[in-house]
Structure 1
Amino acid sequence: MLKTLMPRGLRLGLLGAAAAAALAFGTTAPARAQIHIAVAGPITGEYAAFGTQMKEGAEMAVADINKAGGLLGQKLILEVGDDACDPKQAVSVANQFASKGVKFVAGHFCSGSSIPASKVYSEEGILQISPASTNPKFTDEGSWNTFRVCGRDDQQGKVAGEYLAKHYKGEKIAILNDNSAYGKGLADETAKALHAAGGKEVISTAYTPGEKDYSALVSKLKEAGVTVIYVGGYHTEAGLIIRQAKEQGMKATLVGGDALVTNEFWQIAGDAGNGTLMTFPPDPRLMKTAADVVKEFKAKGIDPEGYVLYTYGAVQVWADAVKKAGSADPKKVAAALKAGGKWPSVLGPVSFDKKGDVTGAGYVFFEWKNGSYAQM
């Protein structure tokens, strides 16, 4: 093989240039080092109010962590994924995150998105903490990477079902669901708890989400003499159903779950929403552990309602586990999350069981009155 000879002076000059370049890159690389994380939820679509809550929570958490010096000497970069609460779109978002080297995802919102996305994250080595997905299958059928800082439908449904049996004894109850992983799961768990407590619904049926006219469903409820309407589903349809029920002269009480925790519910239901009840964990905005962060949000004109603080808390807990693990490696962080705790957060002390469910999750009732809701 022929060998091209290079003059010694030129060779030394090139070596010197290479050494200088290596030195330059060596000194600047740490300043450019970044850890990519993400938030995913319905940024668009009819449930975009919740996507906004999650995005605001994640953005503030990342800003606060970076302001305090970042993690392991590196800055956090936040990616935002829009799944529109569509399972196929959620999988696409998950694959996009994997291609960008994302280490951690705060999301998704809808259980129907979180469950299929979690399979991608598991295969791609990405840790996931959902602030909002309550279907038990998310962690029951999950892998090393699935966590949530909210409760489960079997916990929430038990509280709702027992309340219905106790406070609406003798009333005609309807249990509706939107056939989603979240809505049907919650309605089924509520019905199970209602039956166990000696109660029984007079109607159990599904409705089609995304419609604007539920008058046929309302007529069916009215004909059956329903006085309590339990909705396993989201605020958009629940608001329309109760408004149209009141327009038909029904004097029914609407009861729902944590997906009614947005001011957008009132914008849809209007005065017909007065007296609506919903289950949700104790309001984190009132916790001492969240006081400083709540002030920070309000200074920016943001009311940290619903899942804002749950998303902030998911990022916060992950960041502390990174520090404890001394690494952003997702599997090491997941092991730290399960072995450690209680992790201090805006949600109070957080710890996880072996499946990734938060321990000690509890639900209470809130009531909508004159455009706002408060814990009962």
Structure 2
Amino acid sequence: MIANLRALVLAGLVAALLSACAAGPKAPPANPNEITIAAAGPMTGDLAVFGEQLRRGAEAAVAEINDKGGVLGKKLRLVLGDDQCDPRKAVGVANDLIEQGAVFVDGHFCSGSSIPASSVYAEAGVLQMTPASTNPALTDEAAAKGIGTVMRVANRDDQQGIFAGDWIAKHYARKNVAVIDDGSPYGRGLADMAFEYMTKGGLVPQMRTAYRHSDQDFVQLIDTLIVGKVDVVYVGGYHDDEARILRQAHEKGLKAEWISGDALNTSEFPELAGPAADGVRFSDMPSAIDLPSAREAVARFRKAGYEPEGYTLNAYAAVQAFAAAATATGSTDGKVMAAWLRKNTVPTVIGDLSWDAKGDITRQRFGWFIWSGGTFRAE
């Protein structure tokens, strides 16, 4: 009898242990004096430089807001999610951030991560505002489904592609142009739109092809460009791949002009590409660094020894937008905040922002930037 009792007790303990393991680690208990928000992106991996931009921007905004008393009488608590720009990991990260009690997510970075994660946040009623994901499908699909909690403070690839395609068609009318991409939602979407508007402008690219993200050997692609006597290459992709392609192209003597999108806005690009980065042109939003609205924030970054490049100030602005919406509505409910944001203008470090019915910023502007000697200048 005692042996049977011991066996039952042991079985119960084992079952409880297995149940606890299956449930995974529990989120820390909520602090009634804090509001949890999150920043999500590639904190590690090949694109970690962009994760750092998101983290630094969100951290700085949280610090400033907390110094001024927080939101709704509570301090903001920032947690981080590392998706490595992997769509499958992004879904897990989204669930984890919700488990931790995040009521707002500043992220993700890659469109391929933001899109699947958005469904998770929408189901939980969490406001998601990406500072960097530019694929139109993110907000288009959310709007088609009646989801209002997905927003961004970045431009859209269709608009960036139109800007680039029109410009290339006008400036390289008699040149052999190739359009290539990395197959990602960001890269492919940007390249497709640029290709379409080059063609509408009367310039039909002689080559349209793709490469695989994170490949190391691009000799076959480069040989194809050389044989085709390509004068101009337009690329939809991320900076690390493009740096490798450029180095190898430089070594093989390819003289084509290189044009790309906003993912080249990181100092890591010339570090990886070396001298091959000189003369490379990319499109992006005009820099906010010199705006009066960004002056104080930029000064604090620089005092701390960090130059707020790329999407740093966008990530900062997203937190400011959340704080403004929560304060105005007296709520951290994602639907309530998103509805307010669509009807109001919010002053941020990157200027006054307003949003349309889809959650896209209403004023989208682009400019050209050219790398030279490890830095870039606006054209």
Asked if 1:208 corresponds to 2:217, the answer is no
Residues 41, 109 of structure 1: 8 Å contact kept: yes
AA aligned opposite 1:218: I
1:32 deviation in Å?
4.8
Question: Are positions 1:195 and 2:196 aligned together?
Answer: no
SS of the residue aligned with 2:106?
strand
Matched, 1:120 2:120: yes
CA 1:102–1:90 in 2, change beyond 3 Å: closer, same or farther? same
**Structure 1: which amino acid aligns with 2:94?**
A
Distance 2:84 2:225 in 1: 30
Cα deviation for residue 211 of structure 1 reads 1.4
Q: Give the greater-gyration-radius structure (CA).
A: 1
**8 A contact 2:173–2:202 mirrored in 1:** no
> 2:238 is matched with which residue?
234
Structure 1 residue 370: Cα displacement: 0.7
Paired residue type of 2:70: G
Q: Distance in 1 between matches of 2:343 and 2:312?
A: 26
Could you tell me which runs of 5 or more consecutive residues in structure 1 were left unpaired when the two chains were aligned. Answer: 1-29
What one-letter code is carried by the residue in structure 1 that aligns with 2:364? A
Q: Residue 136 of structure 2 aligns with which residue? A: 136
Query: In the alignment, which residue of structure 2 is the partner of 1:50?
Result: 50
**C-alpha contact (below 8 Å) 1:239/1:266 kept by paired residues:** yes
Question: Deviation at 1:169?
Answer: 1.6
Which of 237, 260, 263 aligns to 2:264? It is 260
The one-letter amino acid of 2:267's match is: N
Alpha-carbon separation, structure 2, partners of 1:223 and 1:150: 37
* Structure 2 match to 1:37: 37
Q: Is the 1:31–1:74 Cα contact (8 Å) retained in structure 2?
A: no
Equivalent position of 2:8 in the other structure: none
TM norm structure 1? 0.91
Q: In the alignment, is residue 374 of structure 1 matched against residue 347 of structure 2?
A: no
Unaligned runs of 5+ in 2: 1-29
The answer for the alignment partner of 2:293 in structure 1 is 289
Q: Which whole-Å CA distance do the structure 1 matches of 2:250 and 2:215 have between them?
A: 18
The Cα of 1:139 is off from its aligned counterpart by 0.2
d(CA) in 1 for partners of 2:32, 2:65: 16
Aligned residue pairs: how many? 346
Report matched runs for 1:201-350 at 5 Å. Answer: 201-341=205-345, 343-350=346-353
| Contact persistence 1:43–1:84 (CA under 8 A) | yes
In the alignment, the residues of structure 1 paired with residue 269 and residue 102 of structure 2 have an alpha-carbon distance, to the nearest angstrom, of 33
Stretches of 4+ aligned residues off by more than 2 angstroms = none
Shift of 1:163: 1.2
1:350 positional shift: 0.0
Would you say 1:80 and 2:80 are equivalent positions?
yes
Mapped pair 1:161 → 2:165:
yes
Residue 97 of structure 1: aligned partner: 97
Amino acid at match of 1:339: K
Deviation string 1:95-142 (CA, Å, 9 cap, x unpaired) is 001111110000000000000000000001110000000000000011
